[in-house]
Homo-oligomer: A and B are copies of this chain.
C-alpha cells in the first residue's frame, strides 16, 4: 500500500519542521514573495488550492489574503533537487502580494554599484495604498 503522506515526507523539512517557499506570479513571472510552510500549511494549500503559509513572526498558520483579499490561487507546486525548497506558481488576486500594496515584496534594488556607492533603492510603486487594503 502506498503511504498517502509519502509526498509530504519527500520534503526535507528543516529542524523547525519548515520548508522555505518562493512564490511566483504564473502570468508575469514576477517573484512575489518568500515565506515558509510547515506540513499543515502545505496540506491546506493542496486541499484548498490557495496558498497557506506558516508565519514565523506570529507563530501561526497564515492563509495569505485572509485580511487583504489578496489570495493566491495555486497553479503549480514544485520541489527542488535537494527537496528542501518549494516554488509556488500562482494567480495573484488583484496583482498585489506585498503588505505595502506592491505587486512584489522585492521592490528594493541594489543601485549605485558603478559609482562605488551601493544602496537599496525603492524602484516599484504601490499598486494600492495599504490604508485602502487593511481597514
Q: Look across to chain B and name the residue whose beta carbon is closest to the beta carbon of A42.
A: B110
A106 near B119 (CB under 8 angstroms)? no
Q: Look across to chain B and name the residue whose beta carbon is closest to the beta carbon of A25.
A: B29
Please report the total number of A residues contacting B with Cβ < 8 Å.
Answer: 37
Q: How far is the CB of A80 from chain B (nearest CB, A)?
A: 4
B110 near A78 (CB under 8 angstroms)? yes
Known: A22-B31, A113-B46. A106 touches B118 (CB 8 A): no
Q: In this assembly, does A79 line the interface, its C-beta being within 8 Å of a C-beta of chain B? A: yes
Contact of A119 among B6, B31, B85 (CB under 8 A): B6
B110 near A87 (CB under 8 angstroms)? no
Other CB < 8 Å A-B pairs besides A80-B106, A80-B108, A81-B105, 15 of them? Answer: A7-B110, A7-B120, A22-B31, A34-B85, A46-B118, A76-B110, A77-B110, A78-B108, A78-B109, A79-B110, A79-B120, A81-B99, A83-B108, A85-B105, A87-B106
